[in-house]
Amino acid sequence: MKNILAVGFGGMVGSLLRAAVFQVAGAGLGLWVVNILGSLLIGIAAALLLKHSAPTRLFVSTGLIGSFTSFSAFSAQWFTLLESSLPAGILYAVGMTAASISAAGLGLWIGRKETV
């Protein structure tokens, strides 16, 4: 039960933070911000939370960061772009994916440097 509550509370906080980013940056730019920043943070969390309790890891990774990022909004935006322009849709998908994976790798590197 602790694990489920940890995910739920983290999810509440993360989704509110995502809504705040979208409010400030707009949905288009906000989606890039939450997905790239979230990828960076999940990399850091993966390295730093190894020895923490399961509820802590679940609160941060699955709940907070998982609800802060938005793969479903990315997918919907991608299909909208594909309908209007195949090159724009492909560029969007490749750009978001490459940026997010790079940010996660950078976050993992940062997190590992902190544990040394």
Binding site for Na(+): what residues are annotated? 66, 69
Q: Give CA–CA dist 52/6, Å, rounded.
A: 13
Residues recorded for the chain:
116
Residue the block writes with tokens 């509370």: 9
Annotated binding site: 66, 69
Structure tokens at 64: 């907070």
**Do 34 and 68 form a contact (C-beta atoms < 8 A)?**
yes
Reported as half-sphere exposure (CB side, CA atoms, 13 A), residue 65 has a value of: 20
